[in-house]
Amino acid sequence: MKRRSNLMLLFIIIILLAMGTALFANLFMISIVGYHFNSDTDLKAYSNNVNTMKSKLVAKRGMILDRNGEIIAQDVESYTLYAIVDETRPSYKDKPSYVVDHEDTARQLASILDAPEDYILGLLDSANYQTEFGIYGSNLSQDTKLAIEQLGLPGLGFIKEYKRVYPMNVFASSLIGFVGETAEGDSDLSGKMGIESAYETILAGTDGTKVSVVDRFGYSLLGYPESIEPAEDGSIITLTLDRMIQEQLETSFLITKDTFNSTEMFGAVMEVKTGKLLAVGQYPTFDPNKMDVSEFRNFATQYVYEPGSTMKTFTYAAAIDTGVYDGNATFNSVPFKVSVNKNADPYRASSTSLVIGTIRNAHNRTWGVIDYDTGYAYSSNVGIASLLTTRLDLDVFKTYLIRFGFNDSVKVDDLPESTGVINFSWPYEKLTVGFGQGITVNMMQMMQAYTAIMNDGTMIKPYIVDSIVNPTTHEVISKGETEIVGQPIKAETAAQMVDLMYKVSHDPKGTALAYNVDEVEIIAKTGTAQIYKDGAYADDEFLYSVMIGLPADDPEIMIYYAYRAPATLNAHFKTDAIKQLLHQVALVYNFRKTDETVMTEIAKPLSNYELPNFINHSLSYAKGYLSDKSSDVTVIGQGSTIMDQYPNAMINVLSTQPIYLLTDKTDLTMPDLVGRSRKDVLAYFKLIGLEVTIHGEGYVLEQNVAEGTPLTSDTVVEVSLG
């Protein structure tokens, strides 16, 4: 037994000595002689600089998500195809390392790349060493790469890179921004607007490096260690945006554009008590996948404008808070002629006074002698002028405007911001500021100030970034929090203002009467602001706006919506666009009255997961995989193997996202589309190869073909959205 152990030990020692001798010999040959045994390569012809290759390991840019985990922006792997045509390259692992048959390679690639065969053949024949294939061979998906690899053609290779994609296309685009080249001709990319730019360092991550020794053909030499400094991927930013509310806001803009021929629109939806922005949008907008940008300002923080009558709320609040307001007191609503006393203070001119200007109600309306509560409901400019000249001290009023934050920037996260001014230089302007002319603001200043009205006097700062998370360790780097930025008015004042805003939306002559919806009671304040252009206020174009809080008794959500349009008397009567937004908010926040079954469905917790590639997999496999992940799977056709799918593979989707699995295109029948979005309807009919006509915006309300009806190439399908 002891003899056997000694023999085994001797055997192990001999093996180790042999291995050490071989390694020493290889190192000796490399260092002294200049020959690499493993690759059969003579290294004497190369300098250290030539055969040492340093390559960049590109970091993956961090995803941007909505509050439910839906992907707003992400990096996806893409590939550029290249071909080696140099016939002097040696074989690698018994496979030719160049294109052997140009004609056959061109023929097979053309069918996959959807490219002209003669174009590919021309590139292969004209190249001396290596060639790429232009737009046909760039930005290739993983599926396309796999299909080419399965051809087994020699001489082909791929350059891996990341492409920034925005799966929702037009979606808070000016807020999110886009990624573009850092300089002309520079392949490095960086954020150019909004979140992509403001959080560039956090999203971009840090590239790594790889240093390896290669032969003259670029193959790594076996036996040589590689020096790798791994890339650090960018952090994941989750926003407070809600996809359903944001998409409805974008849709409402289109309705407003069609209704009033609007040229500019902007709006936002926010939780009153937290400051979380649920939707932020503007028009004109753009698709960041196409980068068809015409407006580079983010209207939420960089667009400065005169707000009009929505400012009256703060004038009334200042009067109430200082104890000088009496809602039953009256004033004459006829035009207010402004004069100035010896102290340069404005007052209502008498017949003998010197008139420096006249204040009129919108559209020159008059109601005779009315009380101040009614004046607010009717949005009387004359009422504001009377209040500021008989009851509320002008200097005190300006102090309240500052307390409401109109002299300071809001600083929404790290977004760039432009702020306006309070013009209190001239006596006439001291009155017009009270109804929103002569003061300029941005939308976030308005949102922040109105939180004090709807939140018992406590003013809350808006924010958009909910969290920043390390993608590798899942460590929460930062977390958005509710921030109180002031208490400009007492709780009793805020409560009285909520009552006045309720009067605006419920008085028979209230200016916001047409904004009411069935699901929930609202409070509101409308605005109609003149637009200053070409050195004067225009009378043919206005900025129309509305601020809405819901529910009325204790507002949880505020909606601000504004648009620039030619003069119209229907601005606060044709309100379908904004009412659709109210419907959507009511649905998301369960304000909608519905039966217990639907309530239970709404209350189910959302989850998200990465959708795999089901193509060429069995239907049973796909169903099994999705059984506990998706609540909405539609199988198209009667086959047993997946031919195509929607959405595409390798993206994160919510558990409520409709999934379409195409098995074949025979015996197709009409599905139930009610409740589907425009995007989902278009995706369905693209999969089956039929045309569909869509009327309206929003979600499907009606379809002209009944569920279960056979679909043929002659079937005319129309759906109505609303």
Residues 179 and 328 in one domain: no
Report yes or no on 346 lying in a domain. yes
Which pLDDT value is given to residue 25? 57
Residues 126 and 267 in one domain: no
Report yes or no on 597 lying in a domain. no
Residues 386 and 506 in one domain: yes
Query: Cβ(173)–Cβ(280) under 8 Å?
Result: no
Report yes or no on 710 lying in a domain. yes
Rounded distance between C-alpha atoms, residue 410 and residue 419, angstroms = 9
Can you give the CATH number for the domain in which 659 is found? Answer: 3.30.10.20
Which pLDDT value is given to residue 266? 97
Mean per-residue pLDDT, 668-687 = 86
Rg (CA), the chain: 34
> Of the residues 182, 203, 237, which one is the last residue of a structural domain?
237
Residues 685 and 650 in one domain: yes
Report yes or no on 596 lying in a domain. no
Q: Which residues contact 147 (CB under 8 A, 6 or more apart)?
A: 112
Which pLDDT value is given to residue 537? 87
Which pLDDT value is given to residue 215? 58
Q: Which domain holds residue 149?
A: 54-237
- The residue that leads in pLDDT, 115 or 363, is 115
**Range scoring the smallest mean pLDDT among 334-343, 376-385, 630-639:** 630-639
Residues 216 and 284 in one domain: no
> Of the residues 204, 237, 270, which one is the last residue of a structural domain?
237
Q: State the chain's mean pLDDT as an integer.
A: 86
Residues 180 and 255 in one domain: no
**Range scoring the smallest mean pLDDT among 80-84, 430-434, 673-677, 689-693:** 673-677
Which pLDDT value is given to residue 59? 85
Question: 413 is written with which tokens?
Answer: 């996260």
Report yes or no on 196 lying in a domain. yes
Residues 167 and 258 in one domain: no
Residues 480 and 618 in one domain: no
Q: Would the pLDDT of 289 be above 60? A: yes
Residue 606's pLDDT band, with cuts at 50, 70 and 90, is low
Which pLDDT value is given to residue 148? 92
Report yes or no on 636 lying in a domain. yes
Mean per-residue pLDDT, 587-602 = 55
Mean per-residue pLDDT, 513-525 = 93
Residue 525's pLDDT band, with cuts at 50, 70 and 90, is very high
Report yes or no on 438 lying in a domain. yes
Mean per-residue pLDDT, 135-144 = 87
Nearest to 527 by CA among 514, 505, 542: 542
Strands (E), 614-676: 633-636, 644-646, 651-654, 659-662
Report yes or no on 598 lying in a domain. no
Residues 624 and 549 in one domain: no
Residues 261 and 230 in one domain: no
Residues 104 and 87 in one domain: yes
Q: Would the pLDDT of 50 be above 50? A: no
Residue 578 parent element (H or E): helix 576-588
Residue 243 parent element (H or E): helix 243-260
> Of the residues 559, 588, 617, which one is the last residue of a structural domain?
588
Name beta bridge partners: 491. none
Can you give the CATH number for the domain in which 224 is found? Answer: 3.90.1310.10
For the chain, how many structural domains are there in total?
A: 4
Residues 66 and 149 in one domain: yes
Residue 291's pLDDT band, with cuts at 50, 70 and 90, is confident
